[in-house]
Amino acid sequence: MANVLFHPEAQAEYVDALNRYRTQSERAANRFEAEIERILGSIPAYPEMYPRYDSEHRFALLRRYPYSVVYQVHEGRTYVVAVAHSSREPGYWQGRA
């Protein structure tokens, strides 16, 4: 994930979710981590594969987990704006640069 940058709040969301899954099951945590890596690995090859959220952002839903990765692509780099739980208010992350 060399060309992937996380907004600090998105990084915190990811770490928080990963830690929550670790308290439940190491297997669940490993699968969550693998799913995030799968999505982030697919974006550079197919940056427009996932649906648009708005004119600047796209989102990818995780399989088996109630999360989505909200991102932008600029100059070949993926910028993760949020690792958003589906129970959160839609667009809560807007305003993150």
Give which of 80, 82, 84 is closest to 41, Cα–Cα.
80
Delineate the domains of the chain, giving CATH numbers in brackets: 4-85 (3.30.2310.20)
Pairing label, strands 77-85, 4-6: parallel
Question: For residue 36, what pLDDT is reported?
Answer: 96
Given pLDDT bands bounded at 50, 70 and 90, which one contains residue 15? very high
User: With a threshold of 0.85, does the pTM exceed it?
Assistant: yes
Is the model's pLDDT at 97 over the cut of 80? no
3-state helix, strand, coil in the chain (%, to 5): 35, 25, 40
Is the model's pLDDT at 3 over the cut of 90? no
φ, ψ (nearest 5 deg) of residue 16: -60, -45
Question: For residue 86, what pLDDT is reported?
Answer: 95
What is the average pLDDT across 22-34?
Answer: 96
